[in-house]
Amino acid sequence: MKKTIAILILLLLSNYLLGQNRVLTGIEIMQKIDENEFYKTIQYTGKMTIHIDDQIRTKELCAQAKSKGHKALVEFINPEDYGTKYLMLDDELWIYFPSEEEVVKISGHMLKEGMMGSDFSYEDALEANKISEKYDVQITGQDTLNGNPCWVLTLEAKVKDVPYYSRKMWVDKERYIPWKEEMYAKSGRLLKEMNVLQIRKFGERIFPVKSEMVNKLRRNSKTVFELEDIAFDIDLPDDMFSLRYLQR
């Protein structure tokens, strides 16, 4: 009996020790990123600074999102675009233009275009939750980025209908922040690079609050996105994410 108990304890202990040291798979790291960034609802004001050559344009917006981005409403508040609203429902997008008082559905080719002239495409904003479904995720190395030890993940497309044929991500080993992401074309050319510039702790959650997207097809073309006044898990009514509300 004593022997059996000793074996059981040994087994449990070895399982525990193995679990502690077990190397996570790529998919598990992706899940950790999702868990860290998970929210029921989010509300923030944002600033998008678009750099093209020497020109700088700034867009300001208020955003509310629910169900981890499955539903999002964005309203621009800078003078040039004041009142322009975006409604994202899963992978569908509508834009309301106040001057024409008209709602336009954005689909197909248009989703690949830069959002409000920025380097973030509409699709970049819509596809976040589908990465692990469409890519084979492998840990292909380890690296240190700005003093943060990172896993280097390589994502290869499993299917052909993906926005980028392959991606490379540098994920913080401790906090599961994707500090850097490179997006590649089918030919292997680097198209875009995303860098997280600043993170902030909200309770248990560590959230990126400033990031940049660099367009590698143009020289000096990047967009910096900053989040302010962030509030998580507040009550947002469902009818806020409807076409009727968009036209209000």
Partner 1 sequence: MGTLSKIAWRNVRRNKRRTFLSALVIAVGLGIYIMMNSVMSGMDRANIDNLIELSTSSIKITTQEYNDEKESLPLKYGITTPENVISYIKKQDRVTGVTPRTQFLGQLSNWEDTMPVMGQVINVETDRTVFDLEKYIDGDYFSDSKENEIILGKDLAEEMGVNIGDYITLYALTKYESRNADEFIVIGTLNTTDPNINSNVILISYETADEFLDLENLITEIDVAMERRVNYETFTQDVDKLAQHLKNKYPQLEIKTFMELASGFLKITEQKQFFGSILMLVILAIAAVGIFNSVLMSVYERIREIGVLRAQGMKRNEIIKLFLWEGIYIGLIGSFMGVILGCGVNIYLVIHGIPLEKFGKFSNVGIPYWGTLYGEWNIGAIVFAFIFGLIVALAASYIPSRMAAKLEVTKALRFV
The footprint of partner 1 (CB under 8 A) covers 108-110, 112, 157, 159-165, 183, 185-187, 189, 191, 217-219
Cβ closer to partner 1: 195 or 221?
221
How many other CB atoms sit within 10 Å of the CB of residue 116? 21
Cβ closer to partner 1: 61 or 126?
126
CB of 205 to partner 1, least distance (A): 31
**At 41, which amino acid appears?**
T
CB of 215 to partner 1, least distance (A): 8
Cβ closer to partner 1: 91 or 226?
91
CB of 14 to partner 1, least distance (A): 45
Cβ closer to partner 1: 62 or 185?
185
CB of 119 to partner 1, least distance (A): 11
- In whole angstroms, what separates CA 131 from the centre of its chain? 10
Cβ closer to partner 1: 130 or 189?
189
Q: Is the separation of the CB atoms in 29 and 171 below 8 Å?
A: yes
Cβ closer to partner 1: 4 or 187?
187
CB of 164 to partner 1, least distance (A): 6
Q: How far are the Cα atoms of 36, 68, 202, 238 from residue 233, in angstroms, in the given order?
A: 14, 11, 11, 14
**Which is nearest to 109 in space by CA: 96, 94, 121?**
121
Q: What are the tokens at 86?
A: 């975006």
CB of 124 to partner 1, least distance (A): 11
Q: b/e map of 74-106 (b: 16 or more CB within 10 Å)?
A: bbbeeeebeebbbbbeeeebbbbeeeeeeeeeb
Question: 78-84: long-range contacts at Cβ-Cβ below 8 A with a sequence spacing of 24 or more?
Answer: 81/116, 84/116
